[in-house]
C-alpha cells in the first residue's frame, strides 16, 4: 500500500490535550467505532458503526490497500485522513481512508501501521518554514518535481470522488481569494471522471509546470485536453497557482 502522510506541528494547539492513541493493541471484529471527518466540507462530522472486518485487502483504482479495517461507519469524500476512534476508550485506532458508495462500508488504516514512521518524523522534523523562518528559495532547485506531480494528481483524485474540500485546499491563497469553496464546488460539480496520462514537467522561474494529457469521461463521450498546471512553493508546501486546458480536436 502506498501511503502519503504528513506530520504537522501547530503552535496554537500546544496547550491542548490530544486524543490518546491505541499504540499496541488492534481493533477486533464487533468493536464500536466513530469516524470523524469533514465530508463535503462539513467539519467535525461523526459517523458511528462497528468493525465489520479486519486484515482486508482490496483495490480502489489506482490504489491498493492491505491489512486495513473494514467498518460500518460511512466514509464520504472529505472524511479521508480523519481519525477512527474506539468508542469505549476514546483512543485513535485508525486513519479513515476510503468508502464504498454501495452500502455503509468504510475502510481505515490501523494507526499502529503508521506510528513508527510518525514517531521518526517527530524526532527528526524538517526545518520549519513559517513567519519566523527564512523564505523558501525561488531558485529552480527549490521545487521538487515529483512532489509537484503528486499535488496535481491528488487534486484530481479528490475531484473524482467529490472531495471538493481537499481539492480546494491544494490551491494557492491568491486563487482562493478569487474563488470561494462554494464557487469552486459549483464550478466542478459537473466535471466528469478525469484521467491523467503522459505527464511531463518543466521548471520555469522556480515553479514547476506539470503538463499532461487529460481525459474527461462522461456518460456520452471522452473529451481530451492538453493541460498545464503550475505548482509553486507556498507556506512551506506546494500549491496549484494556475491552470490551462486546451481541447484536443
Domain 140-247: give its CATH code.
3.10.450.100
Confidence of residue 120 (pLDDT cuts 50, 70, 90): confident
Confidence of residue 240 (pLDDT cuts 50, 70, 90): very high
pLDDT tens, position by position, 152-209:
988 988 888 888 888 898 999 889 889 999 999 999 888 888 888 888 888 887 788 8
Please give the Cα distance from 98 to 105 (Å, whole number): 9
C-alpha cell recorded at residue 208: 514547476
Among 185, 45, 39, which Cα is nearest to 98's? 39
Task: Answer yes or no: are the C-beta atoms of 144 and 137 closer than 8 Å.
Answer: no
Q: Map out the domains of the chain as residue ranges.
A: 18-120, 140-247
Q: What is this structure's pTM? A: 0.52
Residues 6+ apart with CB under 8 A from 237: none
CATH architecture for the domain at 18-120: Beta Barrel (2.40)
Strand-pair partners of 8: none
Amino acid at each position: 500500500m502506498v501511503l502519503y502522510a504528513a506530520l504537522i506541528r501547530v503552535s496554537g494547539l500546544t496547550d491542548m490535550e490530544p486524543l490518546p492513541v491505541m499504540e499496541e493493541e488492534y481493533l477486533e471484529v464487533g468493536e464500536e467505532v466513530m469516524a470523524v471527518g469533514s465530508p463535503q466540507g462539513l467539519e467535525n462530522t461523526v459517523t458511528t458503526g462497528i468493525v465489520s472486518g479486519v486484515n482486508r485487502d482490496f483495490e480502489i483504482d489506482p490504489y491498493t490497500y492491505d491489512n486495513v479495517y473494514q467498518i460500518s461507519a460511512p466514509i464520504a469524500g472529505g472524511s479521508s485522513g480523519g481519525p477512527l476512534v474506539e468508542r469505549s476508550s476514546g483512543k485513535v485506532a485508525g486513519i479513515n481512508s476510503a468508502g464504498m458508495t454501495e452500502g455503509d462500508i468504510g475502510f481505515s488504516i490501523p494507526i499502529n501501521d503508521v506510528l513508527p514512521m510518525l514517531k521518526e518524523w517527530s524526532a527528526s522534523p524538517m526545518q520549519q518554514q513559517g513567519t519566523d523562518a527564512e523564505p523558501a528559495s525561488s531558485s529552480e532547485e527549490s521545487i521538487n518535481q515529483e512532489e509537484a506531480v503528486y499535488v496535481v494528481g491528488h487534486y484530481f483524485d479528490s475531484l473524482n470522488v467529490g472531495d471538493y474540500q481537499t481539492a480546494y485546499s491544494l490551491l494557492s491563497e491568491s486563487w482562493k481569494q478569487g474563488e470561494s469553496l462554494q464557487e469552486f464546488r459549483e464550478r466542478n460539480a459537473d466535471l466528469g471522471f478525469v484521467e491523467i496520462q503522459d505527464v511531463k514537467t518543466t521548471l520555469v522561474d522556480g515553479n514547476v509546470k506539470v503538463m499532461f494529457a487529460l481525459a474527461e469521461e462522461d456518460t456520452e463521450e471522452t473529451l481530451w485536453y492538453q493541460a498545464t498546471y503550475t505548482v509553486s512553493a507556498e507556506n512551506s508546501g506546494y500549491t496549484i497557482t494556475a491552470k490551462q486546458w486546451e481541447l484536443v480536436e
